[in-house]
Amino acid sequence: MTHPIARRSALKKAAAGALAIAATRGLANHHQDSEPMEKSGPLKRNIHHSACRWCYGKLELEELCVRGKEAGLEAIDLVNWDEIPILKKHGLAASLVWGVPGGITKGLNRLENHDEILNYFEDVTPKVAAEDMKRIIVFSGNRDGLDDEQGLENCRIGLERIMPIVEKHKIQVVMELLNSKRNHADYQCDHTSWGVELVKQVGSENFKMLYDIYHMQIMDGDVIDTIRENHQYFGHYHTGGVPGRNELDETQELYYPAIMKAILETGFDGYVAQEFVPTWEDPIEALAHGIRVCDV
């Protein structure tokens, strides 16, 4: 038999949970309402909000800057270095610059790729620094038969050549953790443990992992404790609904407010970039909702 006091406590908790779910669903349905976004009140801004450019490919960059800033963006992710002036014109930062040769599949895990990648950093790093931006992305590349130990060693060799360049200009390099199960078959940096070991071996504050929450939920799970235990090896975060990589709403399995609180508790003061593919009629309304969900 349940003690009456314990039962009352449980009922109170259930009611509070129902209210929280209702509030989240209200946000998720916001794109169907006619009320303007500012009715939800000012953002807390404990999280620095960004969004990945490629998810909004149907919008011109100028439109994404204008409307994205109205929705709450402070930065845009995954832009080329020569697009930075457009962002700055609208008071936005480039939270992550890309364009490294080879892209996702032909990365630092192959020694034959190192010279071209190094040339890119010699050229682009000073330009990014001159615009007062702080972060450039790299990739491990696909395994293509290469074992994980050798791939890690090759990445370390390449990164140790890059570090003097980025350390001089106070730029941080981040390697993205991607899933090899659903989106990027054969990608080598596909588990947190592999990426963390690489950061440890490189041993520079100018090299960290990009912890993509969507990708690592698929590969590793245990997201909140992973962040708590390994946050010192993470320099950047991406979001995305699981399954499907769509909106951060009730259709997916991750509860992003709790994840964002865990990130804040580590002392992280960098950017969290939304990297989901919008399915709503207005992609900026979907972005605004994602920002609100993560604004803890």
pLDDT digits (tens, 9 = 90+) for 158-181: 999 999 999 999 999 999 999 999
Mean pLDDT of 120-126: 98
How high is the pLDDT of residue 40? Answer: 66
How far apart (Å, rounded) are the C-alpha atoms in residues 43 and 52? 20
Using an 8 Å Cβ cutoff, are 101 and 150 in contact? no
156 or 2, which is more confident?
156
Least Cα distance to 178 among 141, 148, 151, 152 occurs for 141
How high is the pLDDT of residue 202? Answer: 98
- The 10s digit of each residue's pLDDT in 206-255 is 999 999 999 999 999 999 999 999 999 999 999 999 999 999 999 999 99
The CATH code that applies to domain 44-294 is: 3.20.20.150
3-state DSSP assignment of residue 96: strand
The pTM for the full model equals 0.88
Q: Domain spans of the chain?
A: 1-33, 44-294
How high is the pLDDT of residue 25? Answer: 42
How high is the pLDDT of residue 36? Answer: 38
DSSP H or E stretch at residue 49: strand 48-52
How high is the pLDDT of residue 4? Answer: 37
Q: How many CB atoms lie within 10 A of CB 240?
A: 28
Least Cα distance to 174 among 142, 198, 149 occurs for 198
How high is the pLDDT of residue 108? Answer: 98
Query: Which residues on neighbouring strands pair with residue 237, listed in sequence order?
Result: 211, 272
- pLDDT tier, 12 (very low <50, low <70, confident <90, very high otherwise): very low
Using an 8 Å Cβ cutoff, are 227 and 258 in contact? no
pLDDT averaged over every residue in the chain:
90
How high is the pLDDT of residue 15? Answer: 39
Backbone angles phi and psi of 24, in degrees to 5: -65, -40
Least Cα distance to 109 among 80, 58, 145 occurs for 145
